Structure 1
Amino acid sequence: MLGVTASTQAYEQLTRDLTVGRYAPGTRLPGERDLAGQLGVSRATLRLALGRLESEGTLQRSAQRGWFVPTQVLGEPPSTLQSFTEMARARGLRPTARVLRQQVRPASMDEAGQLRIAPAAPVIEIDRLRGMDGTPVCFDVVVLPEATAAPLAGTDLTDASLYDELRRLCGIEVHRSAYTLVAENADAELARLLGITAGAAVLVGDEVAYTADGTPVLIGHNKYRGDAYRFEADLFRRA
């Protein structure tokens, strides 16, 4: 009975710590030995409390790295096209964007075909590390025709919404997106950027975005942390 009471107390204290933000989403808790000492319980008792929090989805366990607070999951409402910024803000989260590359270069043959421009025509490539509430969530590469999006080549896109800047600077409104999604494992460089373990699952999205008249305006290649993004869609059977 004493052990159950102690584990409940440890559970309640950890719940309070998580509620007030002592351990932010995406961070690792102290090691079990240190955490048990802080809470004044044995490691066996602590594990009962941690296991309870894990079953509730409040904590996640990694066999190699210990206990983590899950990153809050981003997900698009079914059949709704939202930018990363719009998704984050709709959930009360602070979106961030760090520009890693912003350059004008010739389009590849595949890019030219998708954007319906001449081979080797100039395009703007923008590589950004996207985050929410300070936690890296997505490595995002966008390619746009320079002919229609020239102002973006010299615009500071740190913490900016690309959709908003397209509308504001170029008069371009994204209407729909053809999107494919596959699962991959993170290589060492992507793992470093996203703060995950090499080999961890990531979701890779490829899109071509169009205006209302069907003109392609950008190509996107997005790599999301597997624990931070959920894709939803409404599916219908044909009559």
Structure 2
Amino acid sequence: MTADTRPAHATIAQKLRDELTHYAPGDQFPGDRELAARFQVSPMTARQAVAALVTEGRVYRVRGSGTYVAEQPVHRRMSRLLSFTEHMRRQGRIPSAAVVSMSERDGSREENADLEQPGEGSVIALSRVLNGDGVPFAVEDAVLPLRCAAVRDADLTRSLHAALGECGHRPVRSRGTMTAEPATPQHAKLLDVAIGTALMVQRLLLVDEQELPVQLVVVRYVGERIVFDIDQERPAHLDQPGGPVDAPYTFPSLNSDVG
């Protein structure tokens, strides 16, 4: 058996991560002195172990009260196109959505160009709050072309991807950008967070199996409730002289809010 060469606080932190599965959000977590006695280390070492969990967002400290278990974030794989509903179910949570608004309106020139429909065409604007176990995780503002008008009759408290699939336009690929921004008063109210809370913002264009655009969407996630997992490889062309340069994804209609 290989000896554990990690510092004591790192070993303890890993054991505490494993134990967190036995706690519910809001439960009080053992204090530094209790952990020090249990693991037979100094209070400073125990404090370092707990600090690692605080940094990861697994627990949080309340001055004068103690340490508590935080709501665990949802993980999303950046390399896979899965709906919010699918991600939630894979992690044992109950997904739902609340429709904030839905309307048909004239599309902007940029929206119609990105959605590959006539310049004077109409679009469907849909705004929803995406929930997991009843907790708001994101605000989704989507614009759909009229070729997807059948989604207006679908149950939009469930997966929009599923609704698009049922009308023959299942999303199979997306491309776009990710940025960060503070929550506005409107988004803070919808997401039940403080104004200025950090939001992770995805701006995406989704296409179906016929390579037809089916959705322009801006999704604003509460930063502390979501973790984006990344799996990357170095492209071979970067090691070849004169290789192609990666061009940025640019969708004029996503440079500002949609919906």
State the TM-score bracket (shorter-chain normalisation). 0.7 to 0.9
Q: Which amino acid aligns with 2:189?
A: R
| Residue pair 1:103, 1:153 contacting (<8 A) in 2 also | no
Q: Which residue of structure 1 aligns with residue 247 of structure 2?
A: none
Partner of 2:188: 191
Q: Could you tell me how far apart the structure 2 residues matched to 1:22 and 1:140 are?
A: 25
Residues 61-80 of structure 1 aligned to structure 2 (within 5 Å): 61=61, 69-80=69-80
Task: State the identity %.
Answer: 28
What is the match of residue 129 of structure 2? 129
Measured after TM superposition, the shift of residue 103 of structure 1 is: 1.2
Match of 1:19 among 22, 25, 30: 22
For residue 236 of structure 1, give the secondary structure of its aligned residue in structure 2: coil
Q: After the TM superposition, which residues 1-239 of structure 1 pair with which residues of structure 2 at under 5 Å, given as runs? A: 19=22, 21=24, 23=26, 53=50, 55-57=52-54, 58-61=58-61, 69-146=69-146, 148-158=147-157, 160-168=158-166, 170-231=167-228, 232-239=230-237
Encode CA deviations 1:132-175: one digit per residue, 9 max, x unaligned. 111111000111112x21221233311x101111112x111211
Give TM-score scaled by structure 2 length.
0.67
Contact 2:25 2:69 in 1 (8 A): no
Cα deviation, residue 61, structure 1? 4.5
**Alpha-carbon distance between aligned partners in 2 of 1:84 and 1:90, rounded to the nearest angstrom:** 10
Instruction: In structure 2, give the amino acid aligned to 1:102.
Output: M
Instruction: Determine the C-alpha separation between the residues in 1 that align with 2:67 and 2:97.
Output: 27
**5+ long unaligned stretches in structure 2:** 1-15, 29-45, 238-259
Q: Summarize deviations over 1:80-138 as a string: whole Å, max 9, x none.
A: 11110011111111111000001111111221111011223121111100111111110
Task: Give TM-score scaled by structure 1 length.
Answer: 0.72
Cα distance between partner residues in 2 of 1:56 and 1:121: 51
Give the total of aligned pairs.
Answer: 198
Q: CA deviation at 1:75?
A: 2.7
Q: Which AA in structure 2 matches 1:90?
A: R
Corresponding residue of 2:7: none
Deviations, residues 16-74 of structure 1 (Å, cap 9, x unaligned): 9x8353638xxxx8xxxxxxxxxxxxxxxxxxx998655324313588xx976433322
Is contact 2:26-2:70 (8 Å) kept? Answer: no
**1:110 corresponds to which letter in structure 2?**
E
3-state SS, counterpart of residue 206 of structure 1: strand
Aligned to 2:248: none
Q: Per the alignment, in what secondary structure is the counterpart of residue 153 of structure 1?
A: helix
Structure 1 unaligned blocks of 5 or more: 1-11, 30-48
Contact 1:137 1:194 (8 Å CA) reproduced: yes
CA offsets per residue over residues 211-233 of structure 1, 9 Å max, x none?
Answer: 23321111111000011222324
